[in-house]
Structure 1
Amino acid sequence: MNNSTPYTRFRAGSLQGLISMLAVIMTCSSVIAQKDSTGTTNPVTYDSFSPGALWYDTNGELINAHGGGIIYANKKYYWFGEKRGRSAQAGVNVYSSQDLYNWKPEGLALAANETDTTSDIARGCLMERPKVIYNEKTKKYLMWFHLELRRQGYSAARAGVAISDKPEGPYTFLKSFRPNGNMSRDMGLFVDDDGSAYHIYSSDENYALRLAKLTDDYTAPTTRDSLLFRNHREAPALFKYRNKYYLITSGCTGWTPNKATLHVANSLWGPWQLSAENPMKGPAAETTYGGQSTFVLPVRGKKDAFIFIADKWNPRDLKDSRYLWLPVQLDTETPYVNWLDKWELKFFNAAKK
């Protein structure tokens, strides 16, 4: 992926070149924060999604929340994701929004430990795929993430847990571990209708996908931990629709995008059946539009409305990895995702007509 801003070259006196340049300037001005004569930044607001485009926060900075997940609390959405740079990862960022289009940076929800090199989350560790859920009983917010220890590459394969009284944090790191002794890498969390919470995770060098029920306080796995299927899958994104559970996953090809699959089950414990060899449709569907699944978001206040969220990774500059947000379409027996260059939340209203 080219990280630089595209500019169209044109020869002096070329009308077509001038038109092209003006078009690019108009496009860029719709997303880049502007400064007035006093030097005050006036970010442009969004009223639609443009999958794969540059996406700026309300401060005019690129949103930096990769491999993330979203919760709704206090009449706001909170988006958690990996804070990525060109070198070390600093922790987990959080943003807030009331409309899903425009996101306010709330800072680091969980920061790497800068002073204690013996800490599991000492600077130099990797905190990936952060997800947050709320515990109604304890009134606490719990963050789980895939943790790789400092200077150990990807050999640790642990789950990390942190806790907070507020959705935006800051979160206090509690512990890390291998769930029931199993390797734990790409992961997600899911809270069912009865309040039971689950940790879904890639294990056994990503050749196994497992599910563990969490304790009542959501801080640890119980011993009810089961193999869902063995098929070299990662990037699990789980959602529930009409009393069935659906699971989108990715193949394991490193930074190279690949074809997604969709599994379905009547119970979280399975049996899980392949529902679609590829739930993506449209241009570049065979490579999940150049991305990889991370989360499926139920849209608040809209019945049977889900947003498929994926990362379009850029290994040369992970901070510039883009976000793919697309509606899950439910007009057939099998849910699917179709490519849209641009769309709005009113898509879900039109889909039900």
Structure 2
Amino acid sequence: MYKTICQIILLLLFTSTRSLAQTSQNDSTATNFYPGKIWPDNNGVHINAHGGGIIYEKGTYYWFGEHKIAGPKGNSAQVGIHCYSSKDLYSWRDQGIALKVSDDPKSDITRGAIIERPKVIFNKRTGNYVMWFHLELAGKGYGSALAGVAVSKKVTGPYTFLKSTRANAGKMPFYPMGTPESEKVNCSDTTKKDDKFFCRDLKPGQMVRDMTLFVDGNKAYHIFSSEENYTVQIAELNDDYTGYTGKFVRMYIGQQTEAPAVFKRKGTYYMIGSGCTGWAPNAARWFTAASIWGPWTFHGNPCKGPEANLTFGGQSTYVLPVAGKKDAFIFMADKWTPKNPIDGRYLWLPITFKGGNLQIEWKDKWNLSSFNGL
């Protein structure tokens, strides 16, 4: 009997060790993306980085996103912003919580606040990694419409929360040369309905909701849904990337656009976003401009394939340039599950170009070889 028990224990240990080895091997040798499927990290746990963005640093990608939990509280910040790292974009290592929620009920990032769509960029002048995110104060729903800012000397953190802010208080938009007077804000003209939320918020500052960051040379920009989501604003950041210069534009005014994701290709600026239908998916939309300041041209829905009119069930969050590959961009989207937020899935798909036009086509399985020959 003793011998039999020992044999069973050894068999279980062997099976467990072999299983762990296989899991580790599978994690380290992943060679494909499976949009919408469970995506395990190095611990075998589904990646928890929703509404996120990626920064590439010295051969490594760092993915920052909202850490969700199960159940209805999962749509508020109960833990913080999670960070993962990868050398190849397929396999991701858990780097822990980069920015933790506060236990101080007086803090703007206290547990129960809403912290969404974190993005991180590096400032060469200060040597700081700068994180921005959409912030709603605890217990106030979506009425605060703030941006949160945090910094760290180390890419993976921990990040120190600096402040929350509305955008460009007291400032009027910048207008490119040739802008007609009829398109300029006039807060004394009450017939201009598309300006009413801008004028309402002129003194306290403009609303910040769904957002992204974009670096272009030495300049950085904060791009966000504003004016009750009826307008996207593009605002220039100051030299240390922790505040605004006061220069900004409004684009696609009155059209309710969320989830902006911005990138640059061959001198043209591209933006992908979505309509505003709460947690429910809708058709994506894309725009181009010769200058970050516009004018921006609307082009319609870039998606092709099943449920293309619903962005395949997801919503844009970021467009990732693939390091070392020319003209290679990945469309990153989230498939939200608001009743059980921790089960949210990631839809990563290659962007293809025909001339200046872009297309995002559904694929059940794909890898970076899709960009070969570009």
Q: CA deviation at 1:329?
A: 0.3
Bigger Rg over Cα: 2
Q: Within the alignment, does 1:98 sit opposite 2:98 as a pair?
A: no
Q: Within the alignment, does 1:111 sit opposite 2:100 as a pair?
A: yes
Q: CA deviation at 1:39?
A: 8.6
Number of the residue aligned with 2:115: 127
Q: Within the alignment, does 1:151 sit opposite 2:139 as a pair?
A: yes
- Give matches, 1:264-279, under 5 Å: 264-275=288-299, 277-279=300-302
- Give matches, 1:9-20, under 5 Å: none
Tell me how far apart the structure 2 counterparts of residues 310 and 297 of structure 1 sit (CA, whole Å): 11
1:52-108 per-position Cα deviation (integer Å, ceiling 9, x unaligned): 011000001110000000001132100000001122521100000000000000000
Tell me how far apart the structure 2 counterparts of residues 240 and 288 of structure 1 sit (CA, whole Å): 21
Alignment match of 1:305 (pick from 328, 340, 345)? 328
Matched to 1:48, the amino acid is N
Number of the residue aligned with 1:212: 235
User: Please, which moves more after superposition, 37-46 or 120-129?
Assistant: 37-46
Q: CA deviation at 1:37?
A: 2.9
Q: CA deviation at 1:229?
A: 2.1
Tell me how far apart the structure 2 counterparts of residues 343 and 331 of structure 1 sit (CA, whole Å): 20
Looking at secondary structure, tell me which structure has more helix per residue.
2
Matched to 2:320, the amino acid is L
Q: Within the alignment, does 1:41 sit opposite 2:20 as a pair?
A: yes
Matched to 2:101, the amino acid is A
Gaps of 5+ in 2: 1-13, 169-204
Q: Within the alignment, does 1:250 sit opposite 2:238 as a pair?
A: no
Number of the residue aligned with 1:340: 363
Matched to 1:267, the amino acid is S
TM-score (norm 1): 0.87
- Give matches, 1:256-335, under 5 Å: 256-275=280-299, 277-335=300-358
Gaps of 5+ in 1: 1-34
Q: Within the alignment, does 1:77 sit opposite 2:61 as a pair?
A: yes
Identity rate, percent: 54
Q: CA deviation at 1:336?
A: 1.1
Q: CA deviation at 1:126?
A: 1.1
- Give matches, 1:196-207, under 5 Å: 196-207=219-230
Q: Within the alignment, does 1:195 sit opposite 2:218 as a pair?
A: yes
- Give matches, 1:142-181, under 5 Å: 142-180=130-168, 181=205
Tell me how far apart the structure 2 counterparts of residues 75 and 332 of structure 1 sit (CA, whole Å): 30
Tell me how far apart the structure 1 counterparts of residues 245 and 113 of structure 2 sit (CA, whole Å): 26
Alignment match of 1:60 (pick from 40, 44, 63)? 44
Tell me how far apart the structure 1 counterparts of residues 248 and 269 of structure 2 sit (CA, whole Å): 17
Alpha-carbon contact 1:143-1:162 (below 8 Å) kept: yes
Q: Within the alignment, does 1:229 sit opposite 2:252 as a pair?
A: yes
Matched to 1:100, the amino acid is L
Q: 1:72 to 1:36 in 2, by over 3 A?
A: farther
Tell me how far apart the structure 1 counterparts of residues 138 and 326 of structure 2 sit (CA, whole Å): 43
Tell me how far apart the structure 2 counterparts of residues 36 and 136 of structure 1 sit (CA, whole Å): 49
Matched to 2:261, the amino acid is A
Tell me how far apart the structure 2 counterparts of residues 139 and 331 of structure 1 sit (CA, whole Å): 39
Tell me how far apart the structure 2 counterparts of residues 175 and 74 of structure 1 sit (CA, whole Å): 29
Tell me how far apart the structure 2 counterparts of residues 201 and 38 of structure 1 sit (CA, whole Å): 48
Tell me how far apart the structure 1 counterparts of residues 250 and 239 of structure 2 sit (CA, whole Å): 21
1:254-303 per-position Cα deviation (integer Å, ceiling 9, x unaligned): 1110001111100111101112x110011111000000000000000011
Matched to 1:218, the amino acid is Y
1:157-206 per-position Cα deviation (integer Å, ceiling 9, x unaligned): 000000001111110000001011000000000000x2100000101110
